[in-house]
Amino acid sequence: MVDGKGVALVDTAKGVPIAPVKTSDPLHESDVPPGRIRNLIEQAAREGPAHATEPPYNKLLSDAQRMRTWALGQFKTYAANDNPFNAEELAALLAERKKKEPPLCDLPLTVFSRGLPEDESPGAKEAEERHNRYQADNVRLSSVGNQVTAKHSRHHICIDEPELEASAIREVLELGRKRSVALFTAPPLRSATSAAADRNVVH
């Protein structure tokens, strides 16, 4: 939200340099100073467990529900959730994509899309349409991209329609297997010089 209006994340990028990924000296809970941000994190950690298994998470296996309940009560869960470079990284990713079309060449690709809107409030229509455009654009990452719409799901397709994802994963694996077989069994490429030499051989 910017000035009370929904804006795509990439449109909030300001072109600032992206900080390098940290490979040491992780953030500790004690590093977060007292103040508004810490208060918000602590409040979220207190309230999170009570909502951890609300639908659709009540469909998870019991062990997964317990793990989720524990995780949503941890300070570190929320402290690690904030990335100030989200918009910049997305803008860089989209710019990189344009350098090569399609970026994934002919690798098997299936894009899962929700069939139910994530937000049904009156002002959410524009955001949903933008999301659908992005999903269609993702299909074009590969020349053989395929889109599967989960008609009965919102964001959590893997929970609401797991059999749909499992079937698509098996299909992509099979396509990948066939592609690999074709690559390894294809006759080796011959240079124009070699081909010309063969034509001049006298048998």
Task: Tell whether 201 is covered by a domain.
Answer: no
The residue written with tokens 């490429």 in the block is: 189
Are residue 173 and residue 120 in the same domain, yes or no?
Answer: yes
Q: Is residue 124 part of a domain?
A: yes
- Domain membership flag for residue 14: no
Whether 121 is covered by a domain: the verdict is yes
- Report the sign of the C-alpha dihedral through residues 78, 61, 163, 181, in that order: positive
- Which residues of the chain, if any, have pLDDT below 70? 1-4, 184, 186-203
Measure the CA–CA gap between 175 and 171, rounded to whole angstroms. 6
Residue 146 DSSP SS3: strand
In terms of residue numbers, what domain contains 143? 100-185
Same domain, 123 and 78: no
On whether residue 200 sits in a domain, the answer given is no
With respect to residue 15, please indicate whether it lies within any of the assigned structural domains.
no
Report the number of distinct structural domains present in the chain.
2
> Do 115 and 166 sit in the same domain of this protein?
yes
> What pLDDT, on the 0 to 100 scale, is given for residue 143?
94
pLDDT of 4 reads 66
- Is residue 140 in some structural domain? yes
133 and 169 in a single domain? The answer is yes
**In the prediction, which pLDDT does 200 show?**
45
Q: How many other β-carbons are positioned within 10 Å of the β-carbon of residue 77? A: 15
Specify the DSSP class assigned to residue 151: T
* Whether this model's pTM surpasses 0.85: no
